Amino acid sequence: MTILLDAGGRVFGLDQDTLIEIGIYLFNAIFFVVVFTWILYKPVKKFMKKRADGINAQMDAAADTAAQAEEMKTLYEQKLHELESERLKVLESAHELAAEKSRQLMEETEKETAGMKERAAAEMLAERERAAEEIRVHIIDVASAMAEKFMARAIDGEARGRLFDETLAELEKVL
């Protein structure tokens, strides 16, 4: 391997040419940094600002949505509580209505029972009157039969008494 040496025999020389080259390189580097900063920094900064604003807008929208969701949740819970209260009121009202209906049915049943008892009593009275009428008719028949027998026999007083006692005994059996 061969090492290239400069004219003075040194490996690295800090002479005027090297310093000018270094200056030109520094000038170019600074120039490119300034130009690229002027050309690229502002658009990149503008892009980054837009992106940050977009992210902030999304975060704000998410916060608003979360707030709306929380508000809707609160409203839902409130309506759920109101519905539960309404359900309890309806159940209580239905219970009261059922109790009232039951009471009315009991009253109607009692009235119907009383009416049935009255009809049964009236029917029993009518049946008793009919039976009494039949007995009366039977008594009349027996009395007329007795009168016929009495007239047919034309018997003495002792036979009449006996006949009268027999007829009375027969009537007592019928009654």
Give a yes or no: residue 96 inside a domain: yes
Is the pLDDT at 174 greater than 80? The verdict is: no
Is the pLDDT at 55 greater than 60? The verdict is: yes
Element (H, E) at 154: none
Residue for token pair 């049943």: 109
The predicted pLDDT at position 19 comes to 87
Write the DSSP string, 11-55: SS---HHHHHHHHHHHHHHHHHHHHHIIIIIHHHHHHHHHHHHHH
Taking each helix axis as running N to C, give the angle between helix 157-174 and helix 42-153, from 0 to 180 degrees, rounded to the nearest 10: 170
Average pLDDT over residues 97-109: 92
How many domains are there within the chain? 1
The predicted pLDDT at position 104 comes to 93
Average pLDDT over residues 103-107: 92
Residue with the larger pLDDT of the pair 49 and 36? 49
Give a yes or no: residue 1 inside a domain: no
Expressed as residue numbers, the domain containing 56 is 16-174
Give a yes or no: residue 2 inside a domain: no
Q: Distance of CA 48 to CAs 27, 41, 45, 54, 56, Å?
A: 29, 10, 5, 10, 12
Give a yes or no: residue 5 inside a domain: no
pLDDT in tens, 66-81: 999 999 999 999 999 9
d(CA 6, CA 119) in angstroms, rounded, equals 149
Place 153 in a pLDDT band, splitting at 50, 70 and 90.
Answer: low
Place 52 in a pLDDT band, splitting at 50, 70 and 90.
Answer: very high
Give a yes or no: residue 32 inside a domain: yes
Give a yes or no: residue 161 inside a domain: yes
Give a yes or no: residue 123 inside a domain: yes
Query: Of the given ranges (30-34, 37-41, 112-116, 120-124), which has the lowest mean pLDDT?
Result: 37-41
d(CA 58, CA 161) in angstroms, rounded, equals 132
Give a yes or no: residue 31 inside a domain: yes
The overall average pLDDT reported for the chain is 84
The predicted pLDDT at position 69 comes to 93
